[in-house]
Structure 1
Amino acid sequence: MAEAAAGFGSASRGLRALFFMLTPNESSFQEVEEVPQYVQQATPFFIGLIVLEMVVGFLRTGAPVITISDGLTSVASGMINRLPLLLMRGCELSAYMYVWDNFRLLELPWDSAWTWWFTFLGVDFCYYWVHRFAHEVAFLWAAHQVHHSSEYYNLTTALRQSLTQPFTSWIFYLPIALVVPPSIFAVHIQLNLLYQFWIHTELISDLGPLEWVFNTPKHHRVHHGRNHYCIDKNYGGILIIWDRLFGTFASESDKVIYGLVFPINTFEILYVQLHYYMFLWKKSNTYKTIGDKLSTFIKGPSWKPGKARLGDHVDNPKVTGKEVPHDPSWSLSLRVYVALHFMMVLWTYHKLFESKLMLSQLTILGMTSYILLTLTSLGFIIDQRPTSAFLEMLRCVVMVAMQRYGYLSPPLPSLSVFTEAFVSLSLLFWALQSFSRLLRIKKKEN
């Protein structure tokens, strides 16, 4: 009975953490090492709510709210965002602890409810400025644009996170480190992020009086829009009061068209993550003066010489409200194939985080590279790139080798025979596809 009660209590805390409904007493800790991995523990709730959204959305509209191509790209981005944590502690917490250890001005008590609520406000206020600067400074936008690259708006969109943004966002939280213990910050930086998961949905229309204070799906839909009235609005994390105070609030009016102003129309994961850095570099090379070259990176994404710091939206494509999200046409068999292999790599990713303390850094690096290779190759298949067969054949070779030496294992031992057969057949199929493509290339050359 005690174990069942403890399990229920843990599940209850995990679910309440998503909605910032934990009390100070149950989420205050003296040491950073005692702080639960709330984000990692939330994975089952992410999956459960995504499935619930799919079911409710289909019953309500008769159409799927999540596509395989877009949904898998969003989840893959979330995986990539957390891969650096396998090799090092997060930048935000590491920098925070350094400032706390060396420069703190005051030590607020870790077990005080006042400290807990002060940190809640402080982290959310700092997040507002992290988020706002990520839209107003081009090289920061190069990281954050990943989160806006989906042309859909559902719970998987919340998981579409940037690989590079954590390497700059830590700067904005350092003022809190002068007074708030790292253990309390470590709780709130996670809870602030978790709260923002459930607001990525179109199924919740209006929450009444709560809309005045809290960030809600209605407010955040505006933030993800590329309509003129949506751009650079509603930056809040948990609270919308910061936007109301600083003049960046916009209410939902016209139908929101989601995605980037200039859609990228690809599901290749590394391109989704890094393409805007390449764009900025090419853009800066078109200017002659050093000042204009630097301004390309530190002023707004729409900035051009002669324009104000944030530029303008004159050159943006007109949004008509009839735009259709990019969704490639590909066979059902390929969709099943990609979905199955994605579930396999997702399981590998989960086991890697679960056992990282028992693995060498070299093993972790190798398995991380395999995950990146898999996500890249599956993106090539979705995009139907000419080289997808060769890349997938290479990945299957690596997968067979890793399986042979025990680095890949199915969730259940009873599935091991099926998994080995599936992997071997995958390799054979793509080897034949690659050989067939080589023959076609040679015929064209002759």
Structure 2
Amino acid sequence: TALGQQLRALFCALPPGESSFRTVEEVPDYVEKSIPFFITFIGLEFAVSWIQKRKLPGRINDGISSLSLGILSRLPDVLFRSIELISYIYVWNNCRLFELPWDSPWTWYLTLLGVDFAYYCFHRMSHEVNILWAAHQVHHSSEDYNLFTALRQSVVQKYTSWMFNLPMALFIPPSVFAVHLQFNLLYQFWIHTEVITKLGPLEWILNTPSHHRVHHGRNPYCIDKNYGGTLIIWDRIFGTFEAEDAKVVYGLTHPVNSFDPIMLQLRPLAHIWNTFWATPGFCNKLSVIFKGPGWGPGKPRLGLPEEIPVITGKEVPFNPYVPAYINSYALVHFAVIVDLYTELLASVSVLSQGTVLLRIGFIILSLVSFGLLMENKSKAGILEIIRCLVFIGVYKLGYFRSQFSFLGYAYEV
């Protein structure tokens, strides 16, 4: 894909003539090819934020946490094909009613609307159904709002989102769907920023940084608003739109207060499990799972608005003190893990299953260790020593390799 095309893909600005393909196999991996742009835009966000406010747009601990959750969410794709595409192709092959032409601009634009509407429905359900919220809340757990936050994703969310796309498989070719599935995801990267204020008339149609800041807020006026992916028209139609007003305070109404990626993924599920068994009555137990996260016996489906914690403006993000040398250490070692992760993606097709599982296990161990270091936990040092000893052992045995020769030399040292 040409550089200019890839950049325009980030903004869903590639016209049908440049992004229509006959088969799924011909569709580029726009997400993987966008990684250099992710890095560039994060650097630009830091520079602009410093110029505008004389401060950086985030914190080291929260940034590492967001990137860790992003890596963790992508690890299942190393082992399995995307369930979203597998399920879609199955319905297309076995149940389609008719076939729209893959090279028609009308099909392209219809798919743009269809994928975005399906995302709106899924996203809204993910806030209004407790078991779905338990997965989606990972994305909202950051108390910062920057481009790192866009990469903070759930491991399990993709295993519930796929069903919302299946109606399109009755008539829209998989190749067109595969393009827009990526475009919808990529568009939502750049709207996670505070350095862009308003975009004029585009605010009426498109999801913008201003609209999405509201969605990530825990202010009472922000709760359950602005679900759109690329377009904001669905929120305006269905009454879930809210314009940015008072200063937004980001994060969950009841913060998890952790940088451990496994804790962030599993704690909400554990809470549902405990609440399920503590709630009397079979119907109430089902309501714990399928009604809103604020529901309780005798309450409306989505809970009581007055129970949403009031924002005072004095909220302090979870930010345990960590010495500067620990932050520097974590940054360097996190960079090593990013190198191992990208090398795994590049070589997975030629590795044995045992080697792939070993690398995935070590990456998960490392991400947990970094999270505990950022929390300054007493046992973090012991876990980190164990992790480093494991790294030395498996590297000497030849199970780890770097894409860059100078890093290979550094690992040897």
TM-score with structure 1 setting the length: 0.91
Shift of 1:265: 1.1
Shift of 1:170: 0.4
Shift of 1:417: 3.3
Describe how 1:425-444 pairs up with structure 2 within 5 A.
none
CA distance in 1, matches of 2:37, 2:50: 20
Which one of the candidate residues 156, 165, 172 is aligned to 1:164?
156
Gap regions ≥5 residues in structure 1:
1-8, 422-446
Q: State the partner residue of 1:444.
A: none
Q: State the partner residue of 2:78.
A: 86
Which one of the candidate residues 354, 360, 382 is aligned to 1:368?
360
CA distance in 2, matches of 1:411, 1:321: 46
Structure 1 segments (4+ residues) deviating >6 Å:
none
Letter in 2 for 1:279: H
Which one of the candidate residues 251, 259, 273 is aligned to 2:251?
259
Q: State the partner residue of 1:428.
A: none
Asked if residue 392 in structure 1 is aligned to residue 388 in structure 2, the reply is no
Q: State the partner residue of 2:23.
A: 31
Which one of the candidate residues 187, 206, 217 is aligned to 1:214?
206
Asked if residue 125 in structure 1 is aligned to residue 97 in structure 2, the reply is no
Render the CA deviation track for 1:234-267: whole Å, top value 9, x for unaligned.
Answer: 0000000000000000000100000000011110
Shift of 1:208: 0.4
CA distance in 2, matches of 1:47, 1:415: 19
Which one of the candidate residues 379, 387, 397 is aligned to 2:371?
379
Letter in 2 for 1:217: P
CA distance in 2, matches of 1:251, 1:178: 36
Which one of the candidate residues 41, 56, 59 is aligned to 1:67?
59
Asked if residue 148 in structure 1 is aligned to residue 140 in structure 2, the reply is yes
Q: State the partner residue of 2:330.
A: 338
Q: State the partner residue of 2:194.
A: 202
Change (3 A) 1:46 1:219: same
Which segment is superposed worse, 372-381 or 307-316?
Answer: 307-316
Letter in 2 for 1:252: E
Shift of 1:406: 2.5
Q: State the partner residue of 2:286.
A: 294
Which one of the candidate residues 220, 223, 228 is aligned to 1:228?
220
Describe how 1:48-67 pairs up with structure 2 within 5 A.
48-67=40-59
CA distance in 2, matches of 1:66, 1:51: 12
CA RMSD of aligned residues (A): 1.1
CA distance in 1, matches of 2:282, 2:297: 12
Render the CA deviation track for 1:107-149: whole Å, top value 9, x for unaligned.
Answer: 1111111111110000001000010000000000000000000
Letter in 1 for 2:61: S
Letter in 2 for 1:362: G
Shift of 1:313: 3.1
The alignment partner of 1:197 has SS state of helix
Letter in 2 for 1:162: S
Q: State the partner residue of 1:431.
A: none
Asked if residue 245 in structure 1 is aligned to residue 237 in structure 2, the reply is yes
Q: State the partner residue of 1:354.
A: 346
Q: State the partner residue of 2:166.
A: 174
Shift of 1:12: 1.1
CA distance in 1, matches of 2:343, 2:252: 34
Render the CA deviation track for 1:309-350: whole Å, top value 9, x for unaligned.
Answer: 111233332111221222121111101110001000001111
Describe how 1:1-40 pairs up with structure 2 within 5 A.
10-40=2-32
- Is the 2:284–2:297 contact (alpha carbons within 8 Å) kept by the matching residues of 1? yes
Letter in 1 for 2:411: T
CA distance in 2, matches of 1:407, 1:331: 33
Render the CA deviation track for 1:408-434: whole Å, top value 9, x for unaligned.
Answer: 33443234333333xxxxxxxxxxxxx
Q: State the partner residue of 1:184.
A: 176
The alignment partner of 1:355 has SS state of helix
CA distance in 2, matches of 1:252, 1:93: 35
Letter in 1 for 2:279: Y
CA distance in 1, matches of 2:314, 2:245: 16
Render the CA deviation track for 1:356-400: whole Å, top value 9, x for unaligned.
Answer: 111122221111111111101111111111221221122112111
Letter in 1 for 2:8: R
Q: State the partner residue of 1:329.
A: 321
CA distance in 2, matches of 1:262, 1:11: 42
Letter in 1 for 2:214: V
CA distance in 1, matches of 2:108, 2:262: 38
Asked if residue 284 in structure 1 is aligned to residue 263 in structure 2, the reply is no
**Percent identity between the two aligned chains:** 51
The alignment partner of 1:409 has SS state of coil
Q: State the partner residue of 2:94.
A: 102
CA distance in 1, matches of 2:324, 2:58: 16
Describe how 1:413-428 pairs up with structure 2 within 5 A.
413-421=405-413
CA distance in 2, matches of 1:374, 1:219: 35
Shift of 1:61: 1.0
Q: State the partner residue of 1:41.
A: 33
Shift of 1:11: 1.3
Q: State the partner residue of 1:319.
A: 311
